Amino acid sequence: MRKLHLIILSLIITFSLTSCIDLIEEVTVNKNLSGHYELRLEASSFGSMMNGQIDLPGMRNLNEKVNLLKLQEGISNVRKNIQPKNMQFKITFDFKNEKALNKAMYQLAEIEPNMFVKKFLKIKKHKIIRPNLSPYLQKLIEDQNLLDQIPSTDLLSYINYKFIVNTPSDIRGVKGNNTMVQSNNKTVITSISFKDLIVNKENVYLKIRL
């Protein structure tokens, strides 16, 4: 079981019954190809109507795994704020290079790296590539029957997934769906609803040329 993704998806589906939510991944890449990673959930205040009635299995295990990141070579400044009952979920850390970032993501997702597992992110001097990870997400949701927990898949239209990349130099070109380059020409934002991602199986591949 991939506890990190399962807990996040369970939170998303729970919150979707009372609020609009954004699941945001943000990566900042420095000139030396080190960087900063942040994963957070942002929900409207309407979710407080749930009165904190959230109890997710595996949360203690997830906290342990986040703490283990502090011991990983190439990972530093690990911070977390995981309080499902208060609708707070945030994990951040700094990474030394692409290898350290991908190893950290494998650990959080409980994936054993091998030649068949896609990298979370490829970071090179002149390009940054995010592979299409939506098939994995779709399979996880199907395996756990998470969609059965909501009255209608239309609710997924109110849940957005955003992937933000802050680059060290000007962006020369971008390839990907639902993607916008910001006015500073160093930030790319991909935004897609969970309905498009899960039900309509939208491709979330992203390539940034620098």
Token readout for 7 is 């807990």
Lowest mean pLDDT segment, chosen from 74-83, 132-141, 191-200: 132-141
C-alpha to C-alpha distance for 106 and 124, rounded to whole angstroms: 19
**Looking at residue 146, what is its pLDDT?**
62
Contact criterion met (CB below 8 Å) for 178 and 192: yes
Please determine, for residue 199, whether its predicted confidence score (pLDDT) is greater than 50: yes
Alpha helix positions (H), 69-111: 98-108
Token readout for 140 is 């996880």
Please determine, for residue 162, whether its predicted confidence score (pLDDT) is greater than 70: yes
Average pLDDT over residues 124-148: 78
**Looking at residue 57, what is its pLDDT?**
47
**Looking at residue 156, what is its pLDDT?**
76
Top pLDDT among 68 and 167 is at 167
Contacting residues for 110 by C-beta, under 8 A, at least 6 apart = 1, 2, 3, 4, 65
Token readout for 95 is 């990474």
C-alpha to C-alpha distance for 132 and 117, rounded to whole angstroms: 12
C-alpha to C-alpha distance for 77 and 70, rounded to whole angstroms: 8
Lowest mean pLDDT segment, chosen from 19-23, 67-71, 93-97, 202-206: 19-23
Average pLDDT over residues 16-27: 74
Top pLDDT among 28 and 12 is at 28
| The residue to which tokens 């420095």 are assigned | 30
Cα 159–189–4 angle (5° rounding)?
50
Pairing between strand 127-130 and 88-95?
Answer: unpaired
| Averaged pLDDT of the chain | 80
Average pLDDT over residues 117-141: 85
| CA 151 remoteness from chain centre | 24
**Looking at residue 134, what is its pLDDT?**
76
